[in-house]
Amino acid sequence: MCESKRFAEGIGFNEHGEFYRYAQGKPYAIESPIEQNNRHILLLKRLFDSGEIDLPTRLGFRMKPSLHSLILIANTSAIRRPKNSKKVDGMDRIIKVEQMLKRRDQDLKEENFLHTFSSVNKLISTETLQIFAENLADLHTPVKKDWKARFGIRDQLPENTPSPIPKKQPAPPVAAAETAKSMRLFCADCKKTVSQNVADFCWNNKARFHGRVYCFDCQRKYKAG
């Protein structure tokens, strides 16, 4: 199980297994990649025990993969180790990417003969391994991330199009009352000048005054009715 890490200025840890990364020459505490990878391994072990994935079989027995942890650091990143790092479990599993094949060969050489002989029964074909890997990958559900928001990318707004110039609407016809404002208003009987309010009263009572304007005194001649 490989956990890859890349830090521009490198990674370090102390004899207590506490990790930190460097930024502008200063150390900042980070989560332990060893414990992080151990959780990944635990999750896979639970999956293999659950029966949710078909494991390769030999002689009717399901063969569970053996999982080993490796923390791979970018070749361009420095690894700062304490002098007594061997006292901390798992620290020897932190290597650079370019050392991975060498570490694999070293682990194979360290296997004793009896263990290697018993492992022969667990060998599978490359086709079986490919099918198992594809089935395992199918169970993975990638986390959805808003990459645009992460990098400050905004959705492109539609280009501004000039709004059409509204056509000039013709002026509404002037009502008789508005026309009357510009003229002298007078009584139809006595020809006395009347106010706009008096004229409006007569126009609003056409049935009584037959559409004509009368002064207050002349209005008495026409009873409501």
Domain boundary among 100, 115, 130: 115
> Both 187 and 111 in a single domain?
no
Tokens 């808003």 belong to 146
* Same-domain check for residues 12 and 111: yes
pLDDT (average), residues 178-190: 72
Q: How far apart are CA 211 and CA 203, in angstroms?
A: 6
In tens, the pLDDT along 120-149 reads 566 788 888 898 888 888 888 888 888 888
Cβ-based neighbours of 186, under 8 Å, separated by 6 or more: 192, 193, 194, 213
Pick from 47-51, 153-157, 164-168 the range whose average pLDDT is largest: 47-51
Tokens of 45: 């072990």
Do both 198 and 108 map to the same domain?
A: no
Q: Are residues 189 and 107 in the same domain?
A: no
Is there a domain that residue 140 lies in?
no
Using the 3D structure, point to which of 60, 80, 115 is the last residue of a domain.
115
**Using 50, 70 and 90 to split pLDDT, how confident is the model at 12?**
very high
Domain of residue 58, residue span:
2-115
- Report the alpha-carbon distance of residue 41 to residue 44 in Å, rounded: 5
Residue 74 corresponds to which amino acid? A
The answer to whether residue 180 scores a pLDDT higher than 50 is no
Whether 112 has a pLDDT exceeding 60, the answer reads: no
Is residue 23 assigned to a domain?
yes
Q: Does 98 share its domain with 16?
A: yes
Q: Tokens for 73, please give them.
A: 């650091």
Q: How many domains does the chain divide into?
A: 2
**10/102 same-domain check:** yes
Within this chain, do residues 103 and 22 fall inside the same structural domain, yes or no? Answer: yes
- Hey, which residues does 42 pair with through a beta bridge? none
Number of residues written out for the chain: 225
> 26 - beta bridge partners?
23
Domain boundary among 115, 142, 162: 115
pTM above 0.85, yes or no: no
Task: Give me the mean pLDDT over the 104-113 stretch.
Answer: 74
Q: What would the pLDDT profile of 38-89 be if each residue is shown by its tens digit?
A: 999 999 999 999 888 888 887 778 888 888 899 999 999 999 988 876 777 8
**pLDDT of 114 above 50:** no
Mean pLDDT of the chain: 81
DSSP output for 181-212: HTS--B-TTT--B--HHHHHHHHTTHHHHTT-
- Residue 187 lies inside a defined structural domain of this protein: yes
Asked whether residue 75 is domain-assigned, the answer is: yes
pLDDT at 105 (0 to 100): 87
